[in-house]
Structure formats: structure tokens, C-alpha cells
Structure 1
């Protein structure tokens, strides 16, 4: 059953049992995310979900000596982590905020995640903390995968230092210097592309609303952009690391996973702020 929150002009519906994801998000009554169909699990082109303890793809499920389950058979990858397939518990709730917790015991990973969601005049904020509860150091990463609406006239702007090129499975193979993106569909349509050296700020402009995203902590530095031509969606995904970086040491400087010792944590925050747009 969806958990609803309201505050600061924002309305959100969360699904703690479905990986702590978001089934709908609105500002002043306008959809920010594509609403999830009632009763449909997250993961399709709607809502938003967390990617923990890695973001995007691992080729062959390889993570050092470990092998993670392949859940994208068509390209032989383990994609988007473990947390999205497991429930969270509600630890505390108010009309405009909620605290969720999750314990994952799925070898080789043993970890705890805390998600704090708050809606107020400053915006819609998501805080995460993941702690290694295992007995050995492990590489960790995280990301957030929103499916934003993409009406005609949508613009996207952000700064980065590098743009990756990819193979046919969307795994990065090289990176070239980049200023990021600034434009409409001519700039982003058809991308499933990773940007490194992101400054943690992105702006999506719709005909009547502008959305400002700011990521801090572990989630600032890397950004995945996905805009399939066949669907009116735009994914702008803050991530802590380069996709498949565990298997691409030559590209590790563009965004490594973080080795967490037992009991060590990594944290990050995403804030969305919306304002009326006067775009002609």
C-alpha cells in the first residue's frame, strides 16, 4: 500500500515494500515523475527507485572475486543493485516526512540502508545512508533512478567534465572531455549515456515548471542520462560511480566504487526544488 506525504507544495507516494521507491511525485498538482500504474511493481518507465549497493550494470555480475545474480539476461549483466528488490520498514513517519530502514543479507553483501524523505518549502529531499554490516571490506555504490515526465519542449542542462562512449550493452568503453548538456531533445534524445565530473547540479525545464536537482555527498560526481525515443520519459540519475567500474580499472578515476570497512557508512542527498517557469 502506498504511503503518502505532503508538504511545501509537494505530494509524494512511496512504496516501502517495493524497494523504498516512489510511485508518484507532484508539485502544485503537476506530475514530476511518470506515475506508476496501480499495482505495478517499480522498475518500469515510471516512478523512481534506489540502486544500492551498486548503480547501473556489472558485466557478467562480476565484482572482484564475487559473482552477483544476472538479472538482465539479454546483455548478461547484474543491474541496479539489490535493494530495489527488497522491502523497507517504516521506522518513523509524519505528514511531511518518513524514515525507512532496510537490512540486506545476500552474500557477499551484508548491509543496512536508511532512507529519509522530507517535503517542505525548501523542496523534496532524499537522504540515504548505507552501512557495511559484513565482516569484510566490500565495494559499495548507490544511485537514484527517476523517470521524469518529458512533455514536448523539455530542456535539460548540467555541467560535467567527461562523457562516456558505450558498447552495444551500454557499458562504458572510453571517455572524452565534455561540458555536459544544455538543450532539448536534439541534445539528449536517444541517450543512455554516463557523464563523469558532474558538479551535482541539473536543471530540467518544462513548459510551465522548472526543476532544479542538487546532489551532494556520495551522489555528486556521476550522472547517467537516459531518454528513449519511444517513450516520453527522461531519466537523470545521480550515481556514486561509473557503471561497471569494478571491471574497468583504466576508467576508475572517473568514479570508483567506495570500499567500506565493516561498520563504515556512505551517505548522500538529493534535493529537488521546483518553480514556475516563464519559458515562452
Structure 2
């Protein structure tokens, strides 16, 4: 069973079991959701074809399967350190000396509503060494028709102001072709961390963050899926032979150091992500 690590330093490369799965769908689009495993989508089937790396595909690490929300930060925070509110903060550096993908991927989400087509979940963020600011997240996963899946995320500051970034991390099974036309890329330095200023996009393969406002299209197994979001930052990770991750997010990696966005108490950040099969 998946569980909250309870204040312990999480290991993104440790196995994470999905726990009980909840199902939603319409027609030939069927979705399995794992609320206890970070509120993630465990698998999507379209016309019987699996779209994601699932928990039984041989990549059991928490970081490496399904489609999960990343919050309250995305990508890596350099060495887990950042300045905020006139002081320095440290969160666990848990991958390559950096802090990766927030805290929500390990935590059990509470299911508030579930019907044949949608699931609504909430998550109370910790106020401990993993993340000192708290906050409350909500997400909705909805099959809007036989070929359309809509995801929504929101994050509210509660106890006080806090820095914030969020997005999604889908692990798609390797497409034969990727249509992607970003306007700029964040160069990575010797530590593999995004830096400024942005430059013209460079050829792949990539593990990089881009500025992008256009649909991204994946072609695989005779299917075409169009990805769209109101997020203008997208990370593409297509270096492995078995997967391509296409990750819409509100800010670049290391945003707390590069371009911090702050929520005042009671303020909410929202984003949406849509997958649509032709």
C-alpha cells in the first residue's frame, strides 16, 4: 500500500505501489487512478492501447510511472535550497543532490467525489522538513468524452505566504514521433539545472524546459494524442528508449531561485492540462 512518508525524507527512486485503483471512463477511453500513490493516473487505455508506463511495466520507482501532479514545486530545486521571506530554507535533497518534483507524488490524496466519468481529490500539504509552508491542493480528473481527458490542479496558500509552482509529469510509452514547436529553451548548467536567459531551442534528445504555447502531439501505435495546457512552460524528457515525458508546468525547474511566484494567504494558483485523441 502507498502511504504518506510521515515527515521522512522521500526517495523518488524507491518503489511505490499503486494501492487500490479507481476507474473512470467513457467508451474506448478508460482511466485508472491511484489516489494513495500521489493521486496519480496509473494507466490510460484508448481503444485498448495502454498510453502510460504503468506500475507493472518494470519501472516501479515512485518517480517513473503514471501521470502525477508535481507540487508545490516542479523539477529540481538546486541543492534543495532557496531564499524566501528574508531567510534561507532547505528541503530534502533527494535526487542527485537536488530536491525533485515536490512532495505530492508520495502522499495519499483524499477522494472527495467519484463517479463514472470523474474524480475529485484534495491534499493537505505538510508543514515539516519536507515542506514548511503547508497549503491545500485540489485536483480533478475527468473523462469529457470518448477521446478527451481533462486534468485540473489548484493550490491554495493557507497559513501564510509561500512560493509555489506546479504541473504534471506523464510518463508516456515511447511515441514513434513527437510534434513539438517551442519558442525557447532554458539552458542547463553543469549540474543539470535550468538557467537564464533562455535561448533558441536546440536539437534533442532532451531533458529540458521550454517556453511553449502550442499543442504538443504524440504519434504511437496508429494513434494521435494532442496535449494542451494553459501552462507556458513544458519539460520534455525523451532521452530513454522506452518513454517520453511531456510535462506542462507553471514555472521552470528551480523556479524558487530563478523566478519565484508567491501566493498570499488565501490566494490560489490554478492550471489545466488536456489530452485529446483524434
TM range (shorter): 0.7 to 0.9
Query: RMSD between aligned alpha carbons?
Result: 2.1
User: For residue 143 of structure 2, what is the aligned residue in structure 1?
Assistant: 119
Residues 188/7 of structure 1: CA separation in 2 closer, same or farther (3 Å cut): farther
Does the Cα contact within 8 Å between 1:45 and 1:233 map onto a contact in 2?
A: no
User: For residue 184 of structure 1, what is the aligned residue in structure 2?
Assistant: none
Structure 2 residue corresponding to 1:242, chosen from 252, 261, 265: 252
Aligned counterparts of 1:106 and 1:78: Cα–Cα separation in 2? 16
Does the Cα contact within 8 Å between 1:18 and 1:42 map onto a contact in 2?
A: no
Shift of 1:188: 3.6
Q: CA offsets per residue over residues 202-226 of structure 1, 9 Å max, x none?
A: 111224011101102xxx1101010
Aligned counterparts of 2:112 and 2:68: Cα–Cα separation in 1? 19
Shift of 1:69: 1.2
Q: Secondary structure at the match of 1:71?
A: coil
Shift of 1:124: 0.4
Aligned counterparts of 1:272 and 1:46: Cα–Cα separation in 2? 17
Q: CA offsets per residue over residues 22-65 of structure 1, 9 Å max, x none?
A: 11111111111122218986624321111100000001111212
Q: CA offsets per residue over residues 182-204 of structure 1, 9 Å max, x none?
A: xxxxx543x111112x1052111
Aligned counterparts of 2:263 and 2:275: Cα–Cα separation in 1? 28
Q: Secondary structure at the match of 1:130?
A: strand
Q: Secondary structure at the match of 1:193?
A: strand
Does the Cα contact within 8 Å between 2:59 and 2:65 map onto a contact in 1?
A: no
Considering fraction of residues, name the structure with more strand: 1
Is 2:168 the counterpart of 1:144? yes
Shift of 1:150: 0.8
Residue ranges of structure 1 left out of the alignment (5+ in a row): 182-186, 276-280
Aligned counterparts of 1:176 and 1:58: Cα–Cα separation in 2? 18
Structure 2 residue corresponding to 1:167, chosen from 175, 189, 212: 189
Q: Secondary structure at the match of 1:84?
A: helix
User: For residue 265 of structure 2, what is the aligned residue in structure 1?
Assistant: 262
Structure 2 residue corresponding to 1:63, chosen from 74, 79, 82: 82
Does the Cα contact within 8 Å between 2:52 and 2:65 map onto a contact in 1?
A: yes
Structure 1 residue corresponding to 2:155, chosen from 127, 130, 136: 130
Aligned counterparts of 1:39 and 1:262: Cα–Cα separation in 2? 42
Number of residue pairs the alignment of both structures matches: 251
Q: Secondary structure at the match of 2:208?
A: strand
Is 2:98 the counterpart of 1:77? yes
Q: Secondary structure at the match of 2:185?
A: strand
User: For residue 41 of structure 2, what is the aligned residue in structure 1?
Assistant: 22
Aligned counterparts of 2:26 and 2:191: Cα–Cα separation in 1? 40
User: For residue 278 of structure 1, what is the aligned residue in structure 2?
Assistant: none
TM-score normalised over the length of structure 2: 0.84
TM-score normalised over the length of structure 1: 0.83
Q: Secondary structure at the match of 1:165?
A: coil
Q: Secondary structure at the match of 1:247?
A: helix
